[in-house]
Amino acid sequence: MNAPVRFQALTVSDLAISAGTTTIVRDVAFTLAQGRPVTLLGASGSGKSLVAHAIMGSLPTGLSAQGVIKLDGEDLLAGTPAQTRARWGRTIAILPQEPWLALDPTMRIAGQVDEVHHHLHGFGSAASSDRARADLADVGLAGREQAYPHELSGGMCQRAAIAVTHAAGASVVIADEPTKGLDAALRDGVVERLLQEVEQGRLLLTITHDIEVAAALGGMVGVMLDGALVEFGPAEQVLEQPRHDYARALIAASPTKWPASLLPAAGEAVVSACGLSKRFGERPLFDELSISVRRGEIVAIVGPSGCGKTTVGNILLGLVAPDRGEVERTAGMAPTRFQKLYQDPPAAFVPHQTLRQSLGDLLKLHGLDWMRAEASMERFGLGRELLDRRPSEVSGGELQRFAILRALLLDPVFLFADEATSRLDPVSQKDVFAILIEAVRERSLGLLMVTHETALAETVAHRILKLG
Amino acid sequence: MSTADATLVPITQRSWLTPSRMAGLALLGLLALFALSGPLLVSVDPSEQDFAASLAPPGSDYLLGADHYGRSMLARLAYGARLSFGMALLTVATAAVPGILLGLLAAWRGGWLERVLDLVSTVLLALPGLLLVLILLAFAPGTFGPLYLGLALTLWIEFYRVTWVTAGGVLKQPHVEATRLLGFGTSYILRSLVLPEIRPILITLSAFAMSTAIIAISTLSAISVGLRPPTPELGAMIVELLPYYAEAPLHVLMPGILIFLLVLGLQLATRSDAR
């Protein structure tokens, strides 16, 4: 460690963030103290990431923050842009979402830590490589110094990113959705690491929509809704006895607490495959796999990342050809009645088209009526003002509901949901599944879902297929 | 900006007409006006000689002066601008249309078609562009045809390669797969998904190609292998006037300034906004 400066507290009071004359985040106040981390929970679109950017001083252009953010007496909002920039990495560090995208893919991890010591602190090359090794050992990556990011798991990449922030000497760590896209085992590893940060005297602000992460981190928990902090208090109190309605809904939205869904008996098979084999290069993904999905049935495929779950669904849709095996779909069905939902909702939409354009083109192509689309929008809780936005300007939960709406307009018989809710907050996840289960019941839709969350699969699915 | 809070942030419309684009378009507009209406207003034949006015300075009987044969500089510059601009436009259109279409085809179909096109473009790329133009010009020196053909043959490769690479990248994205699953056909995907994403880069590329063509035409004419005097071509004019630099330096500079303004206008008008 490079003579670490440890701060006592980071106090945020009366924070408001506005875009021009519209206030989009207001009345946010909390204190990060030594040994008492703060976790902000909330739906996507609740403003929790904006709070992190306000502290960091990296709000997108056009947005401005008012109020007071004090780090041991120094007002962070009052500084010049140059002072703000000087703090990045050295005083406050943000742990990126999906760190495997933030690390340099062409550089060994030791080098990425080493360069911080060398260029930022001006150590000689021998000294900085010793320090880099110590930093990596400190986060449990001893022996993996020469690995490239793609050779490491998601959790290891997250730890490598933490080692970089240690090298920079940052004492305030903001973790923005640190466990997004990780399965349960990896998630616990990251949480444990974050707790060690707190023990070492760093101030920690975590932004997450995972209640288990909030419970494990302890300290203080805040719940955000529509740009306001609606509940704030010690973790046990907020998570056990939430007072605000939304906080209650958020905590009740964990899949284990969902009511059992009653579904009618399944009908005939819409798509079935037998003897499927697929390999990528040398590595076999699966061999002699058989699967069928019937009308009005939910089938889940679970397994760790990289085991070929998505490939099975793509083979059933005809997007990928199997190496061996047969796929049989109900004869006489239009190809558009087999649809897919994507893991990352914005990726499934044309980036430069507004939702009005893409929906309009779809309705025109299939000769459908606007009124029907608008009726579904109302039913799915999607406001009309969303139509004039581009996919990147809409929150993930809303966009995924929009994707379901789009698919359901074509009256599908088979829907493949590829980790459709893994990037959504619990409340959005619950909303999305409520819509999906309703569609399965009303339209005898066959739903194939892929997930890494066993609890979710057990609650929702009729049948579970384990892979890997 | 993370997408998590995307819905909270109000949508901002970024204006397409940035100050630099406005300046570039205004400059191009003025030059086009000069090239098109100049000959009408002056109504002087650019090859009409008046030895009494040889090397007349600007502002005399002739607004921009006269060259060594006493031909009106204004008329010759207007004709030269029209020639350079028109030829560059024609050359770039001839290069861009097949280049973009073949690029889209290669990205879409792949397979042997992609490999054949790749081989052809690599071979042509290995030939120095100027050499190709010179070889073709050897068949019919001083005429427009070979000059145009040679330039178009060297310029289409850039359009083909850029379209192929960028369209290939777009076509691999999940939203293309999603659009196809929703029942949209090939023409919709190419027109509404691929073209809007590759348009900005193609516009920039066209401006560069136009600039290259304007400069190449002038350069080749200046070394007397392109268009020959008495055609009022900007490059040829510079060379014709060069011996009289001591007496009339401004006359020599005028065609050069015009080329500079044309290229500057093109670059400004297609400059992408630097955030």
Nearest CB to B182 within list A49, A177, A336: A336
Mean pLDDT of chain B, nearest integer: 81
Average pLDDT of B212-221?
A: 84
Q: What is the pLDDT of residue B149?
A: 86
Please say if the pLDDT value at position B1 is more than 60.
no
Query: B230 preceded by cis ω (within 30°)?
Result: yes
Q: What is the pLDDT of residue A448?
A: 92
- Helices of type H across A345-395: 355-365, 370-379
* Closest Cα in chain B to A425: B4
Average pLDDT of B190-216?
A: 87
Q: What is the pLDDT of residue A247?
A: 85
Contact A466, A286 (CB under 8 A): no
Which chain B residues contact residue A181 at CB under 8 A? none
Residue B50 tokens read as: 């008046």
Q: What is the pLDDT of residue B39?
A: 67
- Pairwise CA distance, residues A266 & A272, whole Å: 14
Q: What is the pLDDT of residue A4?
A: 61
Q: What is the pLDDT of residue A39?
A: 92
Average pLDDT of B258-275?
A: 79
Question: Burial code of A243-275, b = ≥16 C-beta within 10 A, e = fewer?
Answer: eeebbebbbebbbeebeebeeeebeebbbbbee
Q: Fold match between A9-254 and A269-466?
A: yes
Q: What is the pLDDT of residue B15?
A: 66
Would you list the DSSP string of A419-460? STTTTS-HHHHHHHHHHHHHHHHHH--EEEEEES-HHHHHHH
Domain ranges of chain B: 78-261
**Any chain B CB within 8 A of the CB of A455?**
no
Q: Which of A352-366, B50-64, B175-189, B250-264 has the lowest mean pLDDT?
A: B50-64
Mutate to test the interface with A, among B11, B172, B181, B199 (most CBs of A within 10 A): B181
Nearest CB to A336 within list B3, B183, B188: B183
Beta bridge partners of A36: A33
**Any chain A CB within 8 A of the CB of B122?**
no
Residue of higher predicted confidence among B113 and B71: B113
The alpha-carbon radius of gyration of chain A (Å, integer) is 24
- Our CA-based measurement puts residue A129 at a distance from the nearest CA of chain B, in whole angstroms, of 33
CATH architecture of B78-261: Orthogonal Bundle (1.10)
Q: What is the pLDDT of residue A305?
A: 67
- Helices of type H across A139-252: 154-168, 184-199, 211-217, 235-240, 245-252
Residue of higher predicted confidence among B248 and B1: B248
Whose tokens are 């709070």? That residue is: A51
Q: What is the pLDDT of residue A2?
A: 46
Q: Is the pTM of this model over 0.80?
A: no
With cut-offs at 50, 70 and 90, classify the pLDDT of residue B33.
confident
Contact B93, B157 (CB under 8 A): no
Nearest to A432 by CA among A410, A454, A458, A460: A460
Please say if the pLDDT value at position B88 is more than 80.
yes
Residue of higher predicted confidence among B61 and B223: B223
Reported in sequence order, the residue ranges of A283-349 that DSSP labels E, i.e. its strands, are 283-294, 298-302, 324-329, 338-341
Q: What is the pLDDT of residue B2?
A: 42
With cut-offs at 50, 70 and 90, classify the pLDDT of residue B3.
very low
Q: What is the pLDDT of residue B275?
A: 41
Domain ranges of chain A: 9-254, 269-466
CATH homologous superfamily, domain A269-466: P-loop containing nucleotide triphosphate hydrolases (3.40.50.300)
CATH homologous superfamily, domain A9-254: P-loop containing nucleotide triphosphate hydrolases (3.40.50.300)
- Our CA-based measurement puts residue B8 at a distance from the nearest CA of chain A, in whole angstroms, of 6
Which parts of chain A have pLDDT scores under 70?
A: 1-4, 181, 261, 305-306
- Our CA-based measurement puts residue B107 at a distance from the nearest CA of chain A, in whole angstroms, of 18
